[in-house]
Amino acid sequence: MSDTTSPSGETQPSENAETGATEEPLKSAPADRETEGPLDESEANPVRPYVDLGGVKILPREGLQLRLEVEEGSQRVVAVGLDYAGSTLQVQPFAAPRTSGLWHEIREQIAEQIAKQGGTTRLTVGPFGPELLAEIPATTPGQPGSTRLARFIGVDGPRWFLRGVIAGDGAVDQEAASKIEELFRSVVVVRGKTPMPPRDLIPLHMPKTAALTDDLPSTPGA
């Protein structure tokens, strides 16, 4: 199999010399992911004081507010929300194939879903490779027709895919974007050894430290 990696960090489709067929793109990730993040658990410094949330670990920092998004019916934790420096970052870790990535397919599905909601998306290239800049209809009381901006980012790692959604200042301001992007890079993904179908959410849970658990808010999720 032949492939070429673009400066954006995504492996591009290439032509098979024997059949002439175009192969699927592989993993999408920054070239320095293994050192600068988002890291796999095997790549992270084990002595750093991470908050263990199951499928992801978060490094505490001043001004960072962490919350868990919970599915109403099952009470399952489905996402981690991070509020930092005027921006919000939602992260979700998913199981992925060992050799191929998911982001090229998932971002197309996100664009389709947003279009059905009456929103628009634009494919751009950011520090993590291809990303979607979305303008989504907002249900703001007294403001019919209002919209909100969000950036959908994704990184394919070893047997996992990490999706991020950036809103607030980080979606519109370059300085704020740099801060929230650095936060996304600091996330550690814990894939585990349990076999899982691709696209399944890697289980998340409340932190085991009692002091953190007592102060950690949770919000209903879809």
Residue 111 — φ and ψ, nearest 5°?
-60, -40
Predicted pLDDT of residue 146: 86
Sort strands 4-5 and 218-221 into parallel, antiparallel or unpaired: unpaired
**Poorest-pLDDT segment among 40-44, 96-100, 200-204:** 96-100
pLDDT(165) > 70:
yes
What is the distance, to the nearest Å, from the Cα of residue 145 to the centroid of all Cα atoms in its chain? 28
pLDDT(217) > 60:
no
Contact status, residue 29 vs residue 157, Cβ threshold 8 Å:
yes
* Share above pLDDT 70 across residues of the chain, in percent, rounded to a whole number: 82
Q: What is the domain partition of the chain in residue ranges?
A: 30-221
Q: How many angstroms separate the CA atoms of 14 and 96, rounded?
A: 22
Helices and strands, counts by H and E, the chain: 4, 14
Domain 30-221 class in CATH: alpha beta
Predicted pLDDT of residue 70: 96
Q: In whole angstroms, how large is the CA radius of gyration of the chain?
A: 18
pLDDT in tens, 168-189: 999 999 999 999 999 999 999 9
Across the chain, what does the average pLDDT equal?
A: 87
pLDDT in tens, 8-52: 455 444 344 444 444 555 899 999 999 999 999 999 999 999 999
Predicted pLDDT of residue 142: 72
pLDDT in tens, 125-156: 999 999 999 999 987 777 777 899 999 999 99
pLDDT (mean) for 53-78? 96
Predicted pLDDT of residue 143: 72
- Amino acid occupying residue 217: P
pTM score: 0.84
**Poorest-pLDDT segment among 72-76, 79-83, 101-105, 171-175:** 72-76
